[in-house]
Amino acid sequence: MSSYLLCAPPIYGHLAPLVTVGRGLAARGHAITVLTGAKYRDLVTGAGLRFAPLPAEVDYDDADLEELLAPASAARGVGAIREGMIALFVRVIPAQHRAVLALLDAEPFDAVLAEGAFTGLVPYLALPPAERLPVLGIGATPVVLASVDAAPFGAGLAPGRGPLGRLRNRALALAIRPGLTRPLREAVDAVLAEIDSPASRADPFDYAYRCFDALFQLSVAELEYPRRELPGTVRFVGPLRDAAGRADAAALPDWWSDLVDGRPVVHVTQGTIDNADLGRLVAPTLRALADEDALVVATTGGRPVADVQRALGGPLPDNARVAEFLPYDLLLPLVDAVVTNGGFGGVQRVIAHGLPLVVAGSTEDKPEVAARVAWAGCGRNLLTGTPRPDAVRRAVREVLTTPSYRLRSREVATAIAALPDPLEVIAAGLDAAVAARRGPSATSGA
């Protein structure tokens, strides 16, 4: 068996998939250490994995980023994106890198597995392969690799078609280069120079795809824009699967039987991160569907259920049911459509169940997720994170009554189901990388 170091930034949506993978690797007998933020110590140790803390200076709280993102808040447009990325993913490189080296110096790991946004490995990946461990990655966001075939990441635009579409993509890329791409590259190279590391081999948006020895993208090609530049080291492995038997039916709410009373069931969620204000999407959806012949099931992502009533300014509609969390492996088979703010992992799981979506997201990578859902034909993109109730109502009616949305989601679900278990693929990839390094031509690196 092998010993693996797993690395992720202290952001739940980036860390949680890595912990799931770590749990699967540990079940196969491997020793797993996870380097991430102290806030998530219990998440890591609760999965049976060893926890290693990031240095305090880069251990931010993903639920309280106001101070860290102050420069981004003061900027606008492309400048806000640039300053946010510098704060979250560039200035952290030296301290993250030192933490990685300290662990690698202290213990005989066999390989590193990192979530694609963990940039502290940029200096380590500058070493020749013979002088370092294999470094593999998982992609827990939409693909951000720059391409002539797609608009720049963050634009929330579907790919244009033909030569005119490619011309549009080039024009957009040139337009943002002075304010985003070039300053980000310069910022990365500046922090690398501080630690005597060579300049990066790739733009920040391309790092995970061009620098890791391999990247396992937790999605399917049917939900991602085609890119001629995508390296062969990137493999679409599909979303991580529900663990059989993990849900506890005994813990279900007493209204659970209402889900099978014959009415269409619509699930609405703002996920676990962008849920501080349930008035953005959950409350408008409950208002929108209050008079519909449907049961509306809302989850708060851990917020108190009372927050929903506060967001509504009154009692729940008669057709609404609310819980902090519900097990998706039990809920989604009973659902007819999902309204979501576009969390990447949640959307993947919904489509894996063949369900149509209405997506209303405006933070993080959510506009890009929403654009992909619409492009793939699996649902509607409301183009805002704060939709009006009438817009939600029209969109929900459309996805419930237009067969093409459900049909397309089922087609993508079939493609997902045809793939081998992503955990098996990732475990096999790590095994192969370790075996190759241990071969007769391998040298003894870090």
Whether 443 is in a domain gets the answer no
Residues 39 and 147 in one domain: yes
Give yes or no for residue 441 having a pLDDT over 60: no
Three-class secondary structure assignment of the chain: CCEEEEECCCCHHHHHHHHHHHHHHHHCCCEEEEEECHHHHHHHHHCCCEEEECCHHHCCCCCCCCCCCHHHHHCCCHHHHHHHHHHHHHCCHHHHHHHHHHHHHHCCCCEEEEECCCHHHHHHHCCCHHHCCCEEEEECCCCCCCCCCCCCCCCCCCCCCHHHHHHHHHHHHHHHHHHHHHHHHHHHHHHHHHCCCCCCCCCHHHHHHHHCCEEEECCCHHHCCCCCCCCCCEEECCCCCCCCCCCCHHHCCCCHHHHHCCCCEEEEECCCCCCCCCCCCHHHHHHHCCCCCCEEEEECCCCCCHHHHHHHCCCCCCCEEEECCCCHHHHHHHCCEEEECCCHHHHHHHHHCCCCEEECCCCCCHHHHHHHHHHHCCEEECCCCCCCHHHHHHHHHHHHHCHHHHHHHHHHHHHHHHCCCHHHHHHHHHHHHHHHHCCCCCCCCC
Question: In the prediction, which pLDDT does 245 show?
Answer: 46
Residues 360 and 424 in one domain: no
Residues 216 and 253 in one domain: no
Average pLDDT, the chain: 93
Contact 381, 359 (CB under 8 A): yes
Q: What is the CATH number of the domain that holds 63?
A: 3.40.50.2000
The residue that leads in pLDDT, 29 or 204, is 29
Predicted confidence band of residue 445 (pLDDT cuts 50, 70, 90): very low
pLDDT in tens, 381-420: 999 999 999 999 999 999 999 999 999 999 999 999 999 9
- pTM summary value: 0.92
Residues 303 and 334 in one domain: yes
Residues 10 and 139 in one domain: yes
pLDDT in tens, 315-374: 999 999 999 999 999 999 999 999 999 999 999 999 999 999 999 998 888 999 999 999
Contact 117, 141 (CB under 8 A): yes
Question: In the prediction, which pLDDT does 251 show?
Answer: 83
Residues 225 and 150 in one domain: yes
Whether 395 is in a domain gets the answer yes
pLDDT in tens, 265-311: 999 999 887 888 999 999 999 999 999 999 999 999 989 999 999 99
Q: How many CB atoms lie within 10 A of CB 1?
A: 11
Whether 445 is in a domain gets the answer no
The residue that leads in pLDDT, 378 or 63, is 378
What type of residue is 88? L
Instruction: Return the structure tokens found at 96.
Output: 């993250």
- Domain that includes residue 278, residue range: 249-418
Whether 319 is in a domain gets the answer yes
- How far apart CA 382 and CA 37 sit, in angstroms, is 34
Residues 158 and 13 in one domain: yes
Average pLDDT over residues 246-250: 57
Whether 442 is in a domain gets the answer no
Instruction: Return the structure tokens found at 392.
Output: 């939600």
Nearest-10 Cα torsion for 71, 74, 78, 79: -50
Percent over 70 (pLDDT), the chain: 95
Closest CA to 280 of 141, 392, 374, 393: 392
Residues 329 and 228 in one domain: no
What type of residue is 406? R
- How far apart CA 364 and CA 347 sit, in angstroms, is 14
Residues 208 and 164 in one domain: yes
Residues 398 and 409 in one domain: yes
Question: In the prediction, which pLDDT does 95 show?
Answer: 98
In the chain, the number of structural domains is 2
The residue that leads in pLDDT, 351 or 68, is 351
Question: In the prediction, which pLDDT does 76 show?
Answer: 66
Residues 53 and 202 in one domain: yes
Whether 444 is in a domain gets the answer no
pLDDT in tens, 101-125: 999 999 999 999 999 999 999 999 9
Whether 446 is in a domain gets the answer no
Question: In the prediction, which pLDDT does 363 show?
Answer: 82
Give yes or no for residue 173 having a pLDDT over 70: yes
pLDDT in tens, 80-108: 788 888 988 999 999 999 999 999 999 99
Whether 244 is in a domain gets the answer no
Residues 259 and 228 in one domain: no
Q: For the stretch 202-221, what's the b/e string if a residue is b when 16 or more beta carbons lie within 10 angstroms of its beta carbon?
A: bbbbbbbbbbbbbbbbbbbe
- How far apart CA 422 and CA 412 sit, in angstroms, is 16
